[in-house]
Structure 1
């Protein structure tokens, strides 16, 4: 071997040793940091490729658990999909600030998402980092006219997993979308956008089972939590909502494939300066489905326009035929231990379907006053089979059996 060949051999050997050592270190502890894959933490350089490469390495790790880490700093990213299934159980540590580009190119196969987690089981997302959708420039174009803008974070086909501690800021549309998930827990989240930001639902849930939202603060321009069709076993506890449009089930019955929404618990929540408190809404012209077994308990309303509302005459464009009547059946709904103030004279509004009256409604220990002068508020009750009244319920309900 001549001198030049020897030098090249030695150099190649050193390079191979360096690469092998680096891979071995990553493989031993199972930690994959975006910094090791050349992500830049100044918030200006596009780090999308670095995030994607880090995910690929972590997802293919052959140990029992892989850790995907975003250290402190600001990272310009997106859009990007973190897809499984992965070889290892995934732990995602978000301590940095993830920022969307001013002009967000959408993924052709997933056009309505910025950050997406999909097809994972046993996943844990944790940390005190944030996802900033930079939505302010988008909101003037987003006037609830049917056009769909990107969601900040979407969870699709996620099972037996937990998301905790992170923040979602200024989403272009929904902050968090939960779609076809089973046993997903969202806890200790912070969700913020201005009251004037349209369609920025805090958490929207669709086609899922066993979703829990706990100990979360939501300030936004639409529903704090919206529960769409084909959902079961949804629990919302310890949520602070406001500003926003409240916690809503619906709107339901718009599409033929919409299925029942059952077993909903909303408990120990607080509403402040919201449009609604707890709400069930169905389209006045709808396909049939069932809403059954809901409990709204231990709730405080502070300056809320509609603290308790069932609206089966929902028709935001105002062009629905007056002869139509919702085919959604609402039954076995309990409202208990709800107190506070409304900003409108009517604090309890029950507008049920003429062809499918509400049945099995129960009210226990309700104390709602009109904020103006502290007067007792009024109620409206249409097409309701006489509800069960337990203890003191104010305002009083005068529902005639139908």
Structure 2
């Protein structure tokens, strides 16, 4: 299924009734009050402009636009006060997480002009967390929340505190021409991945979302589809990451019925981050069917399905397992009795022209659950090479509880 962004981008060429320009106060003075005042005056039918400068963001903010524009030529620089942000960020219910900045509204454009965006001061968070990526209180840099018919373009996110961006409860959103970089500069880390959970972007409870022309360099998922993400298009993306296109995690909450549906991905390259191994170029992950402890580091027992997914022209460089599915996700020690309990269904998933290499003896590993076997998958033009090129094809592919598939003759169950 090839998805096309359907809403008219009438706001791109609009003549705005009023313009509010905010100049940075400098000297570390909080610019949020001035920014919010500008949005209150010009956010409906007007334009808010921030010229090139560093703007101090010392408190969480919600910027609302209706038939308006936000021209951000400089950086919104979040203060590095860990205790303050843990206590004051907005809460995000999924996995008990936090957000620093919400963009809300309808029929709007946010333009970073290739020079502006967010500086998250993420290094203080990376060193503080020291590999424990899900510590409470790390705020996501920006969330497109409760928004419809919006364009965010020419945007940069440098050193995000946590997930770089989120699209939450939103419809008809285009995110185009993004550069995201989360790099650990702490010499104590060595080659350890202290930039965990700096995802490029995640979708949650959203539909008709398009990502195009992205460059992501960071320590976790490049783009991840969280529960109830539908009609998503991803094209022309370069990922230097730990995981590439990530489906999930799903099934973490025992009362949830999670849906991932109508997802089209094409022209993606995934390779190693310099401080962490690339696990999977396309990674599907669902929780065990038993609830063990609480999120974010525990969970399970939810259900749902993923279907109508197409991935074309995916190139994967030096992954642990280029195509990977686990239905036994848990952050706790896996008890053997939990195996094969997941009821989340992975069906109707299609690959066309997938190339690349692994640094192990495996190129495909699909560990589906006996409680919800995988079926209806297809593979065309798959050329994946394990570290040992002499490995027999039947030994480099594992497909447990995997049925009704085409184009993968080496699949061993």
| TM-score normalized by the length of structure 1 | 0.83
CA distance in 2, matches of 1:151, 1:109: 9
CA separation of 1:182 and 1:399: change in aligned 2, threshold 3 A: same
| Aligned residue number for residue 34 of structure 1 | 22
CA distance in 2, matches of 1:267, 1:28: 36
Q: 1:221 aligns with which of 181, 199, 219?
A: 219
CA separation of 1:319 and 1:147: change in aligned 2, threshold 3 A: farther
CA distance in 2, matches of 1:359, 1:77: 48
CA distance in 1, matches of 2:335, 2:150: 41
Q: What per-residue deviation string (whole Å, max 9, x for no partner) do you get for residues 133-154 of structure 1? A: 1011112333134524111011
Greater alpha carbon shift after TM alignment, 317-326 vs 166-175: 317-326
Shift of 1:218: 0.6
Q: 2:37 aligns with which of 53, 72, 75?
A: 53
Q: 2:127 aligns with which of 140, 149, 167?
A: 140
Q: Does 1:347 align with 2:363?
A: yes
Shift of 1:321: 5.1
CA separation of 1:323 and 1:55: change in aligned 2, threshold 3 A: closer
| Partner SS state of residue 318, structure 2 | strand
| Partner SS state of residue 167, structure 1 | strand
CA separation of 1:177 and 1:376: change in aligned 2, threshold 3 A: farther
CA separation of 1:332 and 1:373: change in aligned 2, threshold 3 A: closer
CA distance in 1, matches of 2:343, 2:235: 30
| Aligned residue number for residue 122 of structure 1 | 107
CA distance in 2, matches of 1:33, 1:74: 14
CA distance in 1, matches of 2:57, 2:338: 50
| Partner SS state of residue 376, structure 2 | strand
CA distance in 1, matches of 2:176, 2:146: 18
CA distance in 2, matches of 1:323, 1:113: 33
| Aligned residue number for residue 335 of structure 1 | 351
Q: Does 1:189 align with 2:169?
A: no
| 1:111-260 paired onto structure 2 within 5 Å | 111=91, 112-118=98-104, 120-126=105-111, 127-128=113-114, 129-142=116-129, 143-194=132-183, 196-255=194-253, 256-260=255-259
Q: 2:403 aligns with which of 385, 392, 395?
A: 385
| Partner SS state of residue 310, structure 1 | strand
Unaligned runs of at least 5 residues, structure 2: 1-14, 92-97, 184-192, 273-277, 290-300
Shift of 1:372: 4.9
Unaligned runs of at least 5 residues, structure 1: 1-26
CA separation of 1:47 and 1:359: change in aligned 2, threshold 3 A: same
Q: What per-residue deviation string (whole Å, max 9, x for no partner) do you get for residues 273-310 of structure 1? A: 13210011101223221111111111111112221111
Larger Rg belongs to: 1
Q: What per-residue deviation string (whole Å, max 9, x for no partner) do you get for residues 67-95 of structure 1? A: 111101111123342343x5x51211111
CA distance in 2, matches of 1:362, 1:166: 36
Shift of 1:322: 2.5
Shift of 1:328: 0.4
| Partner SS state of residue 28, structure 2 | strand
Larger relative contact order (Cα-Cα within 8 Å, sequence gap ≥ 6): 2
CA distance in 1, matches of 2:314, 2:27: 40
Contact kept in structure 1, 2:177 and 2:212, CA below 8 Å: yes
Shift of 1:50: 1.3
Contact kept in structure 2, 1:52 and 1:80, CA below 8 Å: no
| Partner SS state of residue 411, structure 2 | coil
Q: What per-residue deviation string (whole Å, max 9, x for no partner) do you get for residues 88-147 of structure 1? A: 5121111112211121534857242222212x0111111220201101111233313452
Q: How many residues are treated as equivalent by the alignment?
A: 358
Shift of 1:398: 2.6
CA separation of 1:234 and 1:326: change in aligned 2, threshold 3 A: same
Q: Does 1:275 align with 2:288?
A: no
CA distance in 1, matches of 2:146, 2:154: 21
Contact kept in structure 2, 1:75 and 1:98, CA below 8 Å: yes
CA separation of 1:145 and 1:116: change in aligned 2, threshold 3 A: closer
Contact kept in structure 2, 1:379 and 1:397, CA below 8 Å: yes
Contact kept in structure 2, 1:368 and 1:376, CA below 8 Å: no
Shift of 1:198: 1.5
